[in-house]
Amino acid sequence: MNETRLPLNRHQIPASPLVLGCMRFGGEWDGLPITDDLVHEGHQAVEAALEIGINHYDLADIYTRGKAEHVFGRILSERKGLRDQIIIQSKCGIRLALEDEGPQRYDTSGAHIQASVDGILSRLGVEYLDILLLHRPDPLAHPQEIGEALAKLHQSGKVRHFGVSNMGSEQIRLLQLNTSVPLIVNQLEMSLDKIGFVEAGVTVNRPQAKDQVFPYGTMEYCQAENIQLQAWGPLAQGRFTGRVVEGQRPEIEHTVQVVNQIARERGVTAESIVLAWLMKHPAGIQPVIGSIRPERIRACRDATRIELTRHEWYELYSASCGRRM
């Protein structure tokens, strides 16, 4: 995919077509300390990502209870000059169910957003974030309060750009009406297994529309407003690229066969085909690869150099949804 198709590039942010998701950095979601082995594992993942041209890294304050950002901070401190070569994106707005701190919940209060950013910067050991995303829609959100918090973070230089995650068009629209800073990213679950982003459009005025949960109009709204759509879970936990699928629904097994056939014909990996399917969409979707395994990261290398034909794209889509158009 041509990088100029990315909305982020049109915002003068030189982001790569692929993002490395760092949710698995730091090991388990426990309170155990970070080890040198975990830092080494992170280094290997970043090295593999850099090798295939990835300069965009996605984190969140809750990933492995903050350890992911600590590990990434160690990597930055041990690879001099790396910070200036990459785009760092993190998320806030989820509070984990820790001891004496109440239930797991969403919190987009102004005070929590600002405190979260201070924590993120401290763990990463950096002076600013390139992009901050609000992690989930908070039913108790006050849009004006959020807008004021984002404006303060921007004015202070702590965050350069902002976006959201897992939100529909009307939720974004309401936030944008209440803040002076542009919201330029929306990260959603999209893959060959999670095809709601396509189904929401093609099932309009058809009986299947009643079963859709993906927010209708979100893809179109983001395209119209020049908002970068990012796909979390784009490899569908390996369902189409080597994970055992026996016993899965027939659509999965059929899609695996089609993925492998096209991969053989193209001379590339199955991972590259699965990602290229997403990147064919005219919205310029940016897949967030959530793996820490270097070999799996490298297997995505060719996704950016191939473009599926309409025939191939619809063949994969039809296999996944289990029906012809």
CA–CA dist 11, 128 (Å, integer): 18
Told to judge if 216 belongs to the known catalytic residues of this protein, a careful annotator would answer no
Residue 181, phi then psi, degrees to nearest 5: -95, 140
What do you get for the CA distance between the two ends of the chain, in Å? Answer: 25
Give the SS3 label for residue 46: helix
What phi-psi label fits residue 232: left (phi over 0), alpha (psi between -120 and 50 degrees) or beta?
beta
Q: Find all residues with CB under 8 Å of 58, minimum gap 6, and list them.
A: 19, 20, 21, 22, 89, 90, 91, 187, 230, 288
Q: DSSP readout, 245-265?
A: -TTS-HHHHHHHHHHHHHHHH
How far apart CA 140 and CA 159 sit, in angstroms, is: 23
Q: Could you give the CA distance from residue 205 to residue 187 in angstroms, rounded to a whole number?
A: 27
- What is the three-class DSSP state of 285? coil
- For residue 274, give the 3-state DSSP assignment: helix
- DSSP 8-state class, residue 227: P
Of 63, 216, 221, 317, the active-site residue reads 63
- C-alpha separations of 207 from 202, 203, 251, 324 in Å: 11, 7, 20, 15
How far apart are the C-alpha atoms of 309 and 277, rounded to whole Å? 10
Catalytic positions are 63
